[in-house]
Amino acid sequence: MGEEIKGEEGNVTLKRKITLFNGVGIIIGTIIGSGIFISPTGVFLYTGSVAASLIIWLVSGLLSTLGALCYAELGTSIARSGGDYAYIYTAFGPLPAFLRMWIALLIIRPTTQAIVALTFGHYVVKPFFPECEPPANAVKLLAAVCLCILTAINCISVRWTMRIQDVFTASKLLALVIIIISGLYYIGIGHTENFKDAFAGEYGAGKVAVAFYSGLFAFGGWNYLNFVTEELQDPYKNLPRAIWIAMPMVTIIYVMANLAYFAVVSKMEMMSNSAVAVIFGDRLFGGWSWLIPVFVALSTFGGVNGVLFTSARLFATGAQEGHMPAFFSLFHIDKQTPIPSLIFTCFFSLLMLTTSNVFELINYFSQTLWLSVGASVVGMLWLRRTKPDMPRPIKVNLAIPYVFLVAIACLVFIPAFTQPKDTAIGLGILLSGIPVYYLCVKWQSKPNSYHRFSGCILRFLQKLCSCIYVDSLEKLSNGN
């Protein structure tokens, strides 16, 4: 374990507790959450083609790997927790970084956690309703219980959180290996009827782009290790190593799992039921089919854990820079967990559970997510021009970010024409952060009553949660 680091004035900073194995577990465990068990329906729904769906899964993995390589350069040259927020801050300054934090707080993180938690609830309840869709309220209630339990564990111990991540990562990999082997065996004994007319389907640009949203959502998490760089041991070596180990594994597993799904689940079943793994298990495993929803529930439980862990660190980083309320930067004095930030993150995720339509949530948040990822990669290119002497332990070939940015432009702009309502809502929320920034962050001469009120809240939370401030290893302003 890393030694506790003391600041110049004796302030407490974070220990580097996350090993390479933990880092691989965070990437794989966060990526393989709900996506591979629910996104196959989303991808196929918008293309209607088996072959096109498999190609979208493969390309989604390649694009995610390109993005992860860009983030390896960003994460080792800007060795600071906070991910996209830290990179945009360093490249473009405080306002763009605040807007990234704003949409993460209101859209990206709560929606991601809600989607994975809803998938957990859906698969837990599904065995009790084999012939129909489970009650929406039961699914929402179980999703809320999942979020609350994992928030409590994240508050209690970083070590427990990492153990949960490692154990549940192993369980979800086992589930997918069982699905892949069973599906390949099913194909091997001659069941290839679902692959006839594999390329028949719809190929409109808007539908293909939205299909990529579901595919890329399933790969979401490839950049989450960058949000906890300050707690990663030897990040210059372990960050890229974790990416190179995790991304090819996930891509191969996803493509093979979808091949197995298509071999067993018919096109009509795929389009009418999002719980494809349950249909798969019922058809192949008979009396043991209950194991599949159990493994899926374990998988999504670990996925929620990974998103919660990194989300709280993102908001804590924003608070250290004065872009979020100060209580977000409070960590427990002994456990070194961001308790106020975790509780707030859980609360916003619970609000997102007001809807149980997972595909609507995916389409709603995807544009803003990829817009922020694109801004980070543009920031990397900008820093190469404006700060050529910045230390870059990893420096990717320029072709990688340019190809990645072209793909992101298609993902952002094509749906803007085909789904203008979702785009307008997302842009409205993004732009609403501008007056908030000038009122709450930029305005320095706030009245004394404001400072007294915020001070009371801060002291109350410090006493309630036994928290203190934790200094970062490196202030963003030093690199700005």
Record the pTM: 0.74
* Digit-coded pLDDT (tens) for 9-55: 445 455 666 778 877 877 777 677 667 777 788 788 888 888 889 99
* Digit-coded pLDDT (tens) for 69-93: 898 888 878 867 667 888 898 899 8
List the single range of 219-223, 230-234, 247-251, 341-345 with lowest mean pLDDT: 230-234
Question: Three-state SS across the chain?
Answer: CCCCCECCCCCEECCCCECHHHHHHHHHHHHCCCHHHHHHHHHHHHHCCHHHHHHHHHHHHHHHHHHHHHHHHHHHHCCCCCCHHHHHHHHHCHHHHHHHHHHHHHHHHHHHHHHHHHHHHHHHHHHHCCCCCCCHHHHHHHHHHHHHHHHHHHHHCHHHHHHHHHHHHHHHHHHHHHHHHHHHHHHHCCCCHHHCCCCCCCCCHHHHHHHHHHHHHHCCCCCHHHHHHHHECCHHHHHHHHHHHHHHHHHHHHHHHHHHHHHHCCHHHHHHCCCHHHHHHHHHHHHHCCHHHHHHHHHHHHHHHHHHHHHHHHHHHHHHCCCCCHHHHEEECCCCCCHHHHHHHHHHHHHHCCCCCHHHHHHHHHHHHHHHHHHHHHHHHHHHHHCCCCCCCCCCCCHHHHHHHHHHHHHHHHHHHHCHHHHHHHHHHHHCHHHHHHHHHHCCCCCHHHHHHHHHHHHHHHHHHCEEECECCCCHHHHC
Domain ranges of the chain: 20-474
pLDDT at 142 over 50: yes
The per-residue pLDDT for 5 is 39
Give CATH for domain 20-474.
1.20.1740.10
The per-residue pLDDT for 1 is 34
Mean pLDDT for 280-309 is: 79
The per-residue pLDDT for 42 is 79
